[in-house]
Amino acid sequence: MAAVKVNLSEVDLPQRWYNLLADLPFPLDPPLNPATQEPLSPDALLPLFPKALVEQEVATEREIEIPEPVLEVYKLWRPTPLIRAVRWEQQLQTPAKIFFKYEGVSPVGSHKPNTAVPQAFYNRNEGVKRLTTETGAGQWGSALAFASSLFGLECTVYMVRISYEQKPYRKILMASFGAEVIPSPSPRTQAGQQILSQDPESPGSLGIAISEAVEDAVKHDDTHYSLGSVLNHVLLHQTVIGLEAQKQFEILGLQPDILIGAVGGGSNFAGLTFPFIGEMFREKDKKYRVIAVEPTAAPSLTKGEYRYDFGDTARMTPLLRMYTLGHDFVPPPIHAGGLRYHGMAPVVSALYNEGYIEAVAVDTSEVFDAALEFVQAQGIVPAPESAHAVKVARDEALRAREEGVEKVIVFNLSGHGHFDLAAYEQHLQNKRSH
C-alpha cells in the first residue's frame, strides 16, 4: 500500500507565500470608498492595518518572502502532514484515493495561526500595542490571542454571542493566552449598542463583531484591527498550506483531481487551493476541479448576489465586490460559527463568477453524519467548519465508486473539533430522538 502519511521536514517549509493575484487571467474589481464610490486608496487602510500588510493587500508579485521571525514560529507546527484516509476509503468501498491536509496540529488546533502570526509580527514591528478582532467559532480569536502573546501585544476579541455561549472552552483558551474576550453585540461600542437597542437578545453575527472591532481600533491610536479571512493578505498567508501540499503530492508521484475546502470568508479554502489554481493559470495541461463548500444556513456563493457590499453590519469597512447575502444578514445560530458570514472573499468570489471553481451548499445534519463516519474511520474529530469539506469529499468518493473511476481527492481539514463536542452531542441526541 502507498504511504498513509507524508511528512515534510523543516527544510521543506515554504520560504515565500504565493500571491494568486500575479496569475489571475482577469482584472479584479478594486475595493471602493463608500463615501465617494471611487477606488479605495491603499493609504485609507493605514488607520487599521500596518503598512506591510497594506502593501501585501495590493501586491501583484507572485512570491512574497516570509520574514524569519514568522518562519521560526511556523516551525512550532509546520509543515503539517498530508494524510491518506485509507480506512475511510475502505469503509466507502471507493476506488478514489482520499487525502486531507491536517491543519489541526497547530497550537490552537486550526489553520488560523498561519495568518495570525505574521499579522501580529508586522503590527509589533510598527509599534502597535493592541489588536482588536472578531471571532465566530473562536478559532480565529484563539489564533490571534496566541500570536499576540508571542509578540507582546494586547488582544481584544469580540466573539459572536451565540458562539460565546456555545463554546466556553474557546473563550477560556483565548483568556489563557492573555486576551480579553467580549460577547458581541456588546454595550462597549456604538455599533453594539445600536444592535442591542433593536434586539437585546441578538445572537450576533460576524458582521456585527467586525463593526465592533473596527470601531474599537479606530478610536485608539495604539490599536490596530486584525482580520482572519476575506482580505487578500490573509489569503496570501494561508498559501503555505497548498505550497506544502504540492511538495507532498510530488513525493507521492500523484496529482490531485479534486480539491475541496469549506468556505466562510474563504481563508482555509484559498490556503489549500490557490497554489494549485495558479498552476492551472500558468500551465494549460494542469486541470483541477476545485470545490468550495458552504452551509445552507449562510450560502453566499450559491444564493448570494455578486455585487459591492460592506464587510460589516455597521457599514464601516470599504465596499468589496463579492458574493453577499447582504451586510445586515444574520444567519441561523449553527455550530459552524466560522462559516456564519454574509459575504465571500473578493478573489474567491471572482474565481467563482468566472467559472474557475465550483460551489455547493450542504445541510448541517448531513455534514455531521459524514463527520461521524470520518471520526469512526480515521479517529480525528473535525471542526464543524472542516466537516463541510468532509461531507463533499465523501460525496465525490461515492461518485467515483458509482462511475468506477480512480480519482485523487484532497480536502483541507482546517481544524480539530475538540472544542466543538457539544455540537456532536446535539447531533447524536437528534439522531437518537428520531
Q: Which amino acid is at 344?
A: M
Residue 176 lies in a domain: no
pLDDT of 334 higher than 90: no
Looking at the domain assignment, is residue 194 inside a domain?
no
Number of domains in the chain: 1
Q: Of 227, 207, 214, whose CA–CA distance to 313 is shortest?
A: 207
Mean pLDDT for the stretch of residues 102-117: 97
Is 155 part of any domain? no
Residue 206 covered by a domain? no
- Mean pLDDT throughout 325-336? 76
Residue 137 is predicted with a pLDDT of 79
- Residue 35, domain member (yes or no): no
Query: CATH number of the domain that 325 lies in?
Result: 3.40.50.1100
Residue 190 has a pLDDT of: 96
**Cα–Cα distance for residue pair 403/136, rounded to 1 Å:** 39
Residue 381 structural domain: 5-13+66-109+233-433
Give the model confidence (pLDDT) of 297-330 as tens digits: 999 999 999 999 998 877 878 999 999 999 888 7
Residue 9: inside a domain? yes
- Most confident among 160-169, 185-194, 205-214, 308-317 (mean pLDDT): 185-194
pLDDT band at 342 (very low <50, low <70, confident <90, very high): confident
- Contact at 8 Å (CB) between 295 and 263? no
pLDDT for residue 421 is more than 70: yes
pTM value?
0.95
Number of helices (H), then strands (E), belonging to the chain: the values are 17, 15
Question: pLDDT confidence of 333, banded at 50, 70, 90?
Answer: low
Q: Would you say residue 118 lies in a domain?
A: no
- pLDDT given at position 315: 83
Q: Cis bond leading into 79, ω under 30°?
A: yes
Indicate whether 37 belongs to any domain: no
